C-alpha cells in the first residue's frame, strides 16, 4: 500500500491556480489603489480626472478676481432664470412656460438611460458630469433618474391621485416643470436599487458635493422652512455660484429667498 503520489500534471495545475490567484489579487488591489490615489481632487475635494468632464467645475465668478467680492444679485422672478423661485405663492408668470434650451441628459454613467430625460442644457450637462464623479467615487454605484420634467397636467394628476400639497408642488410652481429638477435613487454595482427616502452615504455625498455642479436640495429642512416635507431624493439646479453660496450659508433656497425678500 504505497502513498498516493502527486503527478507532475497536478503540480503544474496547482502552480497555475496559485499564480492566477496572486495575479487576480494584485489586479483588484491595483484597481482599488487607482480609485483611491490616482484621481486628484479639486477645490471642493471632489475627485477630478473624469472622462465625462463637460464642465471643469467653473467657479463663477473667479474667486481670485477682486470684483467677485461684489454681492451677487440673482433673478428670482424671470421664468427662464436658473434661480427662479417657485412656491405656491410664486407660480410661473407664463403657465405654459417651456425653456428654449431643452436637451436629453447626455450621460453614459447613470444606472438607467439618462437620455430618456430632458433638462435645460446647462443643468443636464452639469448633472452628467456629476453622475460620472458619483460613479467614480462609489466604485461603480450609479445614480438613477426617477423623474425629471413633469408637465402641468401630470402634476395635476399626481395631486389628484396620491400626492398631497406639501409633497407635490401645485401645478405651475414645480421645479420639475422648470426643467431644472431631478429625483434620484441609486443602483449599486451589484444591481441593488437604493432609494433616497432617508439619509444614507449617497445622500451624504450629494449633500457635501452637489453644489459644485450647481445642484441644491431645495427641500431639506421641512415644511416650516421650505414649505414641503423633506425630499432627500430631490435636486434642483441653481448654478454653481448660487448653490455654493447656499451650501456655505447652510441655507435652503426658501430660507435665502425669505432673507433677501423680507
Ligand atoms: Zn422632485
Q: Best-predicted range by mean pLDDT among 17-21, 94-98, 130-134, 171-175?
A: 130-134
| Average of per-residue pLDDT values in the chain | 83
For residue 54, the CA-to-ligand 1 centroid distance in Å is 24
pLDDT digits 0-9 by tens, 113-139: 999 999 999 999 999 999 999 999 999
Give the Å distance between the CA of 174 and the centre of ligand 1.
Answer: 8
Residues 166, 229 contacting (CB under 8 angstroms): yes
Using the mean position of ligand 1's atoms as its centre, give its distance from the Cα of residue 222 in Å: 14
Instruction: Using the predicted structure, report yes or no on whether residue 53 has a pLDDT greater than 70.
Output: no
Task: Find out whether the peptide bond into 61 is cis, omega within 30 degrees of 0.
Answer: yes
Ligand 1 centroid from CA 147, angstroms: 7
pLDDT in tens, 193-205: 999 999 999 999 9
DSSP string, 82-133: TT---BTTB--SSTT---TTEEE---S-SSS-GGGSEEEHHHHHHHHHHHHH
Q: Tell me, in angstroms, the distance from the centre of ligand 1 to residue 163's CA.
A: 12
- Cα of 146 from ligand 1 centre, angstroms: 9
What pLDDT sits at residue 201?
97
Q: Is the pLDDT of residue 106 over 50?
A: yes
**pTM attached to this predicted model:** 0.73
Task: Provide the pLDDT for residue 61.
Answer: 43
CA of 148 to the centre of ligand 1 (A): 8
Amino acid at each position: 500500500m504505497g502513498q498516493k503520489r502527486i503527478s507532475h500534471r497536478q503540480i503544474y495545475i496547482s502552480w497555475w491556480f496559485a499564480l492566477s490567484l496572486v495575479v487576480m489579487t494584485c489586479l483588484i488591489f491595483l484597481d482599488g489603489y487607482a480609485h483611491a490615489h490616482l484621481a486628484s481632487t479639486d477645490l471642493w475635494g471632489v475627485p477630478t480626472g473624469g472622462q465625462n468632464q463637460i464642465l471643469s467645475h467653473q467657479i463663477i465668478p473667479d474667486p481670485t478676481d477682486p470684483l467677485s467680492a461684489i454681492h451677487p444679485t440673482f433673478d428670482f422672478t424671470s421664468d427662464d432664470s436658473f434661480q427662479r423661485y417657485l412656491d405656491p405663492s410664486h407660480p410661473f408668470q407664463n403657465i405654459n412656460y417651456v425653456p428654449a434650451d431643452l436637451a436629453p441628459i447626455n450621460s453614459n454613467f447613470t444606472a438607467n438611460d439618462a437620455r430618456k430625460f430632458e433638462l435645460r442644457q446647462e443643468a443636464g450637462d452639469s448633472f452628467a458630469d456629476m453622475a460620472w464623479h458619483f460613479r467614480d467615487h462609489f466604485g461603480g454605484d450609479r445614480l438613477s433618474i426617477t423623474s425629471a420634467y413633469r408637465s402641468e397636467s401630470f402634476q395635476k394628476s399626481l395631486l389628484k391621485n396620491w400626492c398631497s400639497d406639501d409633497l407635490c408642488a401645485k401645478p405651475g410652481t414645480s421645479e420639475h416643470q422648470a426643467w431644472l429638477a431631478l429625483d434620484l435613487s441609486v443602483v449599486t454595482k451589484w444591481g441593488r436599487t437604493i432609494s433616497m427616502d432617508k439619509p444614507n452615504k449617497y445622500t451624504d455625498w450629494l449633500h457635501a458635493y452637489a453644489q459644485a455642479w450647481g445642484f441644491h436640495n431645495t427641500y431639506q429642512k421641512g415644511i416650516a422652512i421650505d414649505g414641503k416635507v423633506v425630499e432627500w431624493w430631490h435636486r434642483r439646479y441653481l448654478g454653481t455660484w448660487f448653490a455654493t453660496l447656499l451650501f456655505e450659508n447652510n441655507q435652503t433656497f426658501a430660507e435665502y429667498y425669505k432673507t433677501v425678500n423680507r
